[in-house]
Amino acid sequence: MTKTRLIVETNTTPALPRFVKLRHDKGRDRWIMLAPERILTPDPIAVEVLNLCDGEKTVSEISIHMAEIYNAPIDVIEKDIKAMLQDLADKGFLIS
């Protein structure tokens, strides 16, 4: 049962583990991620990315989708998304 660090690559299919809950905080009108002893407040773009993390779409597919919506260069978008997801993985809040 040795765990290893998840390295987020282009073909990774990211998902949130069951215990990380992405939900809208009605009182404060913002999105939050609830995790053990932590409350994260992802920005609206991060929330869009996280909603695409369903364990089926690859980082590449998510990046293409986001690049289309925001009419932005795919290489820049993919680099940003990878960095964001790697940060979450290193906190233990992302699986694949």
Residues engaged in binding another protein (CB under 8 A) = 1, 3-6, 17-19, 21, 23, 25, 27-28, 32, 34-42, 46, 89-92
Which CB, 81 or 89, lies closer to another protein? 89
* 22 SS3 class: strand
Do residues 5 and 90 make contact, with C-beta atoms less than 8 angstroms apart? yes
Q: Can you read off the two tokens belonging to residue 20?
A: 């990380």
Nearest distance from C-beta of residue 83 to another protein, angstroms: 12
Which CB, 50 or 66, lies closer to another protein? 50
Do residues 25 and 14 make contact, with C-beta atoms less than 8 angstroms apart? no
